[in-house]
Amino acid sequence: MSKKPTSDSLSRKMELINKKVREINERRRGMRVTRIEDELDRQELRNYVRLMGLEQEDISLEPASDEVFAPRGSVFYLTLAVEALIELVLLYISLSYLLAPGPTSLDYLIVAVLLGMFCYLGYVMYASLRGR
């Protein structure tokens, strides 16, 4: 008779621990996490497990595979293709300003702004391809 409350208590503690794991994962979503931050999160989880009165060996955490990611369909790749065309146009305009006879300081300023936009769009494209 004493086993049932113990198993209920253990399952309740496991639910709380899994809730804590989801909270940590939600906080980290969309961020680049350094090793130090990762270790601090692990330490926070270990302390929470000890606070619950369990040992690390006693728990099995639920996998994080239940996260939902946006599917990469034809719209995603069409958007990337349009971004690539914009990149090509930015390069063409930049080169036309640089190769014009006698570029002025205003031309150099325009080229710097266009190349800044080029770098930003390139980073966005890289992040979206590399991302989930």
Torsion sign over Cα 82, 87, 90, 91: negative
The predicted pLDDT at position 18 comes to: 78
The predicted pLDDT at position 89 comes to: 94
**What are the tens digits of pLDDT across the range 56-69?**
665 554 454 444 55
Per the CB < 8 A criterion, the answer to whether 129 and 80 are in contact is yes
Please give the distance of CA 75 from its chain centroid, rounded to a whole number.
21
Higher pLDDT, 112 or 127: 112
The predicted pLDDT at position 6 comes to: 63
By CB atoms closer than 10 A (0-12, 13-18, 19+), residue 20 is middle
**What are the tens digits of pLDDT across the range 15-55?**
888 788 778 777 777 666 677 877 787 788 888 888 877 76
Tell me the backbone φ, ψ of residue 100, rounded to 5 degrees. Answer: -70, 150
The predicted pLDDT at position 107 comes to: 93
83: Cβ–Cβ under 8 A, 6 or more apart, which residues? 121, 124, 125
Per the CB < 8 A criterion, the answer to whether 100 and 92 are in contact is no
CA distance 90 to 82: 12
Model pTM greater than 0.75?
A: no
